[in-house]
Homo-oligomer: A and B are copies of this chain.
């Protein structure tokens, strides 16, 4: 095809990242979606609340990189299922205060190890040197892209 730009998907970074990340996320998701009836957004919210309790919905959105509508819906479903509890911030009645319930913790304690295990299985294919480079490179790209996207 003379005269046309050469865009080869197989070696195109955004494409490769996208496919890799999707198959990876789905592989983990498949497990907890069936077994615990949790969507990806729901699990993300739970994951972040398991790591840091008493966040507002906005804070959950920031930390999960989901938008506030997605968080609102995930929170509604998690409340309905009894996986989280919601209070209101004393100093600002607009803000909610979210945390895992007793039940929520039980689920978290099953899903989190699964996720970590999957990550380890994947990282096992890399040696120590490669892991360090990967971490470093992701940091750099992350920074660069976040700056770009805010312009």
**Which A positions have Cβ atoms within 8 angstroms of B?**
1, 4-10, 12-28, 44, 47-48, 50-51, 53, 63-65, 105, 108-109, 112-113, 115-116, 118-119, 121-123, 125-126, 130, 133-134, 136-138, 140-146, 148-149
Contact = CB atoms under 8 A, between A and B. Distances in A.
Contacts of A28: 14
A47 B141 contact: no
Contacts of A20: 17, 21, 138, 141-142, 145
Interface of A is mostly: helix
Chain copies in complex:
2
A65 B22 contact: yes
B122 A130 contact: no
Contacts of A6: 51, 112
B4 A112 contact: yes
25 contacts: A4-B108, A5-B112, A6-B112, A7-B47, A7-B51, A7-B112, A9-B48, A12-B116, A12-B119, A13-B119, A13-B123, A14-B25, A16-B142, A19-B65, A19-B142, A20-B142, A20-B145, A21-B21, A23-B65, A23-B146, A23-B149, A122-B144, A130-B133, A130-B140, A134-B134
